[in-house]
Amino acid sequence: MFDFHCHSVFSDGELIPAEIWRRVKVLGYTAIAITDHADHSNFEFIIGNLLKIKKAFEGLTPRLIAGVELTHVPPEFIPELIKESRKAGAEIVVVHGETIVEPVAEGTNLSAILGGADILAHPGLIKEEEVKLAAEKGVFLEISGRKGHSFTNGHVVNLAKKYGANLVINSDAHSPSDLLTKDLAFKIALGAGLTSEEVKKIWEIAKKRFL
């Protein structure tokens, strides 16, 4: 089990990275990416501090991955900030997609895909042409375990299956109760319209890409 999208006290999460790590260790995870909400003001702070604990925990299981989630950044700035985040050491760059429960700027999904984000989180009612482009560019679309963001999981899965886009199942955890067990993650994916075999394939592809 692994998760490539969760939050610590470096943004709006409740736990310090060490406690996130400990809690997912108990849940049997092999890897956890901490991807705190970032913009131009704090991406270097987040990445720099996550790299410190990553270095301290090197060799331990679960593997700790340092990332960011670029959040509510104006679409025209997203591609460059993706590059800057990678330059600062981010191993995974997530972009906060056009969820239907927040006023995310239109064009964010497209900009994230064009900019080469690793994961487009909770992309809401993403357009067909954007899903086609995500498939071409290898950008993973998220099946979200988070309340609200999960409302459009079925739409995302339907289009991803139609056009061959990669999917990833993430918690978007902000608190201990948000963290997913493998069983719950599996059920969320089934509820979004995937078969058991498709879920297993999604996990295998994500493992090869990010681990």
Predicted confidence pLDDT, tens digits, the chain (211 residues): 999 999 999 999 999 999 999 999 999 999 999 999 999 999 999 999 999 999 999 999 999 999 999 999 999 999 999 999 999 999 999 999 999 999 999 999 999 999 999 999 999 999 999 999 999 999 999 999 999 999 999 999 999 999 999 999 999 999 999 999 999 999 999 999 999 999 999 999 999 999 9
Contact between 34 and 60 under an 8 Å Cβ cutoff? The reply is no
- Give the HSE-up count for residue 211: Cα atoms under 13 Å, Cβ half-sphere: 20
105 phi/psi in degrees, rounded to 5: -65, 135
What is the amino acid identity at position 210? Answer: F
Domain boundaries, the chain: 2-210
Q: For residue 62, is the peptide bond before it cis, meaning its omega torsion is within 30 degrees of 0?
A: yes
Does CATH number 3.20.20.140 belong to domain 2-210?
yes
- Predicted confidence at residue 151, as pLDDT, reads 98
How big is the CA angle at 92 (ends 90 and 96), to the nearest 5 degrees?
110
- Measured CA to CA, the distance from residue 162 to residue 141 in angstroms comes to 13
Copy the structure tokens of residue 62: 């679960």
- Predicted confidence at residue 37, as pLDDT, reads 98
- Predicted confidence at residue 143, as pLDDT, reads 98
- Predicted confidence at residue 204, as pLDDT, reads 98
What count of other Cβ atoms lies within 10 Å of the Cβ of residue 204? 10
- Measured CA to CA, the distance from residue 82 to residue 88 in angstroms comes to 10
Q: In what order do the strands lie in the sheet with 31-38?
A: 2-3, 31-38, 63-70, 92-96, 119-121, 140-144, 167-170
- Predicted confidence at residue 101, as pLDDT, reads 98
**DSSP letter at 30?**
S
Copy the structure tokens of residue 167: 């999917």
Instruction: Determine whether 94 is exposed, middle or buried from the number of CB atoms within 10 Å of its CB (0-12, 13-18, 19+).
Output: buried
